[in-house]
Structure 1
Amino acid sequence: MLLKSLALLACASCALAHGDHDHNQEPISGPHKSLWYNTIPGDGGTQADSVFSGISTFGRLPYFPCLASDEEKYDIAFIGAPFDTGTSYRPGARFGPSGIRQGSRKVRFSGGYNVPMDANPFNFWGKVIDCGDIPVTSYDNHYALQQIEEGHNALLTRTPYTAAKEPGISKSGKTLPRLITLGGDHTITLPLLRSINQAYGPISVIHFDSHLDTWKPKVFGGAPSKQAAINHGTYFYWASEEGLLANDSSIHAGIRTTLSGPSDYDNDGYCGFTRVEAREIDTIGINGIIERIRSRVGTKNPVYLSIDIDTLDPAFAPATGTPETGGWTTRELRTIIRGLEGINFVAADLVEVAPAYDTNAELTTMAAADVLYEVMTIMVKNGPLTLNATQADKEPKVIVDNEIKRW
């Protein structure tokens, strides 16, 4: 056992950024040795848990209470932020983290290999776990956002499982792990960006949503109090005011909402955003949307990815706080996400999943889980967040007119 442990440690210490060493992520449960069965008389076999059994973690990843202990290291961690008291229409996203985990049960049904991206995010150079949820009060929004910021930052600044001694792109010069946050309504992105700012400084944002979310508080919500001014439609306004966003390098994708007037677009530009409207998929196509996003943020600087599930049309994701018709299909969104391979994502969130409004077929939670599966794969393929990671290795291949080309 000692020799085996030493061998594992040695393997972890020499893992390279682009998958030269595999780390096979075992599912959270099974096989159960006490319940072995004989497949052939005289021959022992094992019975692993089915995807529909056991407790729910994202993709049946191992669970560890990361906020209670720092003994477990990771390169990518899933963390929930069950908060929904900043929403303006339909509440219920506090149950989003558990719903997304439930919808992710079959993500690795046949092993987890991502065919379009030619990678398995569950078998790679590092380690990914589910850290559970940040404890969030439902009685005090100010304190809740503080809990989310501090909880996220505590996990974001941990020593990673891989490449811990290599220089990284963070402000401290260290290599840090990546976090994927399960929302929660979109207000949670403000404390998450505050956490990111502590680690990386002002950052570019790719924001998938049907709404701008850069509204001035007096326009969205009326701002009767300081806390009411911070909600799921104004958080980017505050992020801009607090200097959390890199200058003029952020972009919305999937926008199709009504506005209070053309001045909303002016304020959006003031906050440093440009837009790709949902309807533009009919004119510039999927590849045109990908190109617009990539040209805006580039592949060198740190980027934060925030995905509102209402980017999808309600036909594909009905269980959300503020549904808007005319959105993209699940296939289209997943293809667009895959087209962002090579962008330097340091963290991500997926928000506004409100399972109470879903069908009993779990359409929304499955779509959310599958989108995050694509995000997770991109992070894995990009390697650890080290300073010497080469951008040439991060250029993705895409299929255009049946030919494989590079962006």
Structure 2
Amino acid sequence: MTTRSFLSLCLTAATVVAHGDHSNQKTLAGPHQQLWYNTLPGDGGTQADSVFSGISTFGRLPYAPCLSHKDITYDIAFIGAPFDTGTSYRPGARFGPSGIRQGSRRLNLYGGYNVPLDTNPFNSWATVLDCGDIPVTSYDNTYALKQIEQGHYSILSRSPKTDADKKGPSKAGKTLPRVITLGGDHTITLPLLRSINRAYGPVTVIHFDSHLDTWRPKVFGGSPSEVASINHGTYFYHAAQEGLLRNDTNIHAGIRTTLSGPSDYENDGYCGFEIVEAREIDTIGTDGIIKKIRERVGTKNPVYLSLDIDTLDPAFAPATGTPETGGWSTRELRTILRGLEGINLIAADIVEVAPAYDTNAEHTTMAAADALYEIMSIMVKKGPLSVLEVDPPAEGTHVGGGGDL
């Protein structure tokens, strides 16, 4: 193949992706299938991309500019939300999306097959794309949160690649794609839940974290203004006030933070959460934690999963905004995530990855990528959202209104 014909082939492939024709998804997926035709004299073979070369997308998935091309379709989309101006301790999570992508480069080095879950999320019924990042201003938190909500909703609300014509669990009775968001500090979960609420109504939340994040703003940060009252420790309080959460089905897992006092637990209950402490793993093990989560959220509720990387002990994930010792190991977290197989995960996020504090070995970004690999595998194994049997939210299932900031 001549140099001119090679360039022509590249331009054709780029045009196909840009216009949303993903019939060649299986051809593009994986680092060993994107071939370069060697034009060196006397060498007519082909060479696959190395896992350490090329642009960084999550797991080396195909990239598509989904936000600017409304006709691009997918079943699962990764989208970044590079926002970190809601942090109370160490900033830097605005670089989380790029760091997680870097840490994910070798996920499908050997083909991507998930042995414990017996599935391959990179080669399945699902079209999976990396849609890049939502443009987010770093100068105006209120506007940034609106950008995140609207960007997420743009990705969430379009027809999926698979079963677009079938009924699904959304408020409109349609099947929607799943969206996995790369944070960003944990403040981003509020606009993401606002987007989810527009599509699904109030949802059940599984929240992996070392902190409750349901603090009243007057307790956490002092609430000097409405803008300051929304941060990475109060977003669930606001979500509850806005009616975004289903009552009595939400759960925290991995909690081990200090509190201002026992009243923090009372407020947490008002927001509709049950708590699994990190230390419980010493008495009930991973199986016991999995059982508690499954019993709390059920198998029919549409579930949103939010994973703060500080769920892990800093020995395994030092690069985070507010590290807390005494956390779970990467192996334990992945085991717990796999134990959620069969739950109706409609969307997820991972947050608080701040690569500047990582080791040279990229411990945190790799752990974050591996956790998302498990979540992605669960979504793929569950099948399209059109197959889910869900109960609609009953009257009064969400909490909201009232209360002082």
- TM-score by structure 1 length? 0.88
**Is the 8 Å Cα contact of residues 35 and 47 (structure 1) preserved in structure 2?**
no
Matching of residue 30 in structure 1 with residue 30 in structure 2: no
1:278-309 deviation per Cα after TM superposition (whole angstroms, max 9, x unaligned): 00000001000000000000111100000000
Q: Report the equivalent of 1:204.
A: 204
- Rounded to whole Å, the distance in 2 between the matches of 1:82 and 1:251 is 26
Post-superposition Cα deviations, 1:219-261, rounded to whole Å, max 9, x if no partner, equal: 0000000000000000000000000000111000000000000
CA distance in 1, matches of 2:41, 2:128: 31
1:211-360 matches, cutoff 5 A: 211-360=211-360
Deviation readout 1:319-338 (Å, 9 max, x if unpaired): 00000000000000000000
Structure 1 distance, partners of 2:60, 2:284, is: 38
- Shift in Å at residue 390 of structure 1? 6.0
* TM-superposition CA deviations, 1:52-104 (whole Å, max 9, x none): 00110000000011111112210000000000000000000000000000000
**How many percent of aligned residue pairs carry the same amino acid?**
75
Preserved CA contact (<8 Å) 1:204 1:245: yes
SS in 1 for 2:245: coil
Q: Work out the CA distance in 1 between the residues paired with 2:271 and 2:85.
A: 24
Correspondence list, 1:181-200, <5 A: 181-200=181-200
Task: Map 1:11-90 onto structure 2 (within 5 A).
Answer: 23=26, 26-27=29-30, 30-35=34-39, 44-90=44-90
Alpha-carbon distance, 1:389 to partner: 3.7
Q: CA deviation at 1:316?
A: 0.2
Instruction: Return closer, same or farther for 1:141/1:47 CA change in 2, 3 Å cut-off.
Output: same
Amino acid at match of 2:326: G
Over residues 78-136 of structure 1, what are the superposed CA-to-partner deviations in whole Å (9 max), with x where a residue is unaligned? 00000000000000000000000000000001000001111000011120000000000
What secondary structure, in the 3-state scheme, does the structure 1 residue paired with 2:129 have? strand
Q: Secondary structure at the match of 2:378?
A: helix
- Tell me, yes or no, if the aligned pair for 1:25 and 1:127 is still in contact at 8 Å: no
Match of 1:123 in 2: 123
Q: Provide the residue aligned with 1:159 in structure 2.
A: 159
Q: Distance in 2 between matches of 1:38 and 1:57?
A: 33
Partner of 1:89, secondary structure, is: coil
Instruction: Write out the 4+ residue segments of structure 1 that deviate beyond 3 Å after TM superposition.
Output: 22-25, 34-39, 388-391
Q: Which letter does structure 2 place at the counterpart of 1:26?
A: A
What secondary structure is seen at the aligned counterpart in 1 of 2:254?
A: strand
2:40 and 2:203 mapped to 1: Cα distance? 51
Q: What CA distance in whole angstroms lies between the structure 2 residues aligned with 1:36 and 1:143?
A: 52
| Paired residue secondary structure (2:244) | coil
Tell me the CA shift for residue 34 of structure 1. Answer: 3.9
Q: Is the 8 A contact 1:91 1:321 kept in 2?
A: yes
Instruction: Give the AA of the match of 2:34.
Output: G
Deviation at 1:33, TM superposition (A): 1.5
Contact 2:311–2:327 (Cα < 8 Å) also in 1: yes
Structure 2: which 5+ runs fail to align? 1-15, 391-405
Read off the aligned partner of 2:282 and give its amino acid letter.
Answer: D
Aligned to 1:114: 114
1:372 correspondence with 2:372: yes
Distance (Å, rounded) in 1 between the aligned partners of 2:86 and 2:303? 25
CA, structure 1 residues 67+236, in 2 after alignment: closer, same or farther (shift >3 Å)? same
SS of 1:285's equivalent in the other structure is helix
Q: Give the residue type in structure 2 aligned to 1:27.
A: G
Say how many residue pairs are matched. 369
5+ unaligned residues in a row in structure 1: which ranges? 13-21, 392-407
Deviation larger for 62-71 or 367-376: 62-71
Number of the residue aligned with 1:398: none
* Aligned equivalents of 2:312, 2:306: Cα separation in 1: 14
Per the alignment, residue 403 of structure 2 pairs with none
Q: What amino acid does structure 2 have at the position aligned with 1:203?
A: V
Tell me the CA shift for residue 46 of structure 1.
1.8
Q: Return the alpha-carbon distance in structure 2 between the equivalents of residues 385 and 63 of structure 1.
A: 23
> What is the TM-score normalised by the length of structure 2?
0.88
3-state SS in 2 of match to 1:117: coil
In 1, the alpha carbon distance for the partners of 2:125 and 2:57 equals 21
Offset of 1:45 from its aligned partner? 3.2
Could you report, residue by residue, the CA deviation over 1:155-195 in whole angstroms, capped at 9, with x for unpaired residues?
Answer: 10011000000111100111000000000000000000000
User: For residue 402 of structure 1, what is the aligned residue in structure 2?
Assistant: none
CA–CA separation in structure 2 for the residues paired with 1:307 and 1:212: 12
CA contact (8 A) 2:37 2:45 kept: no
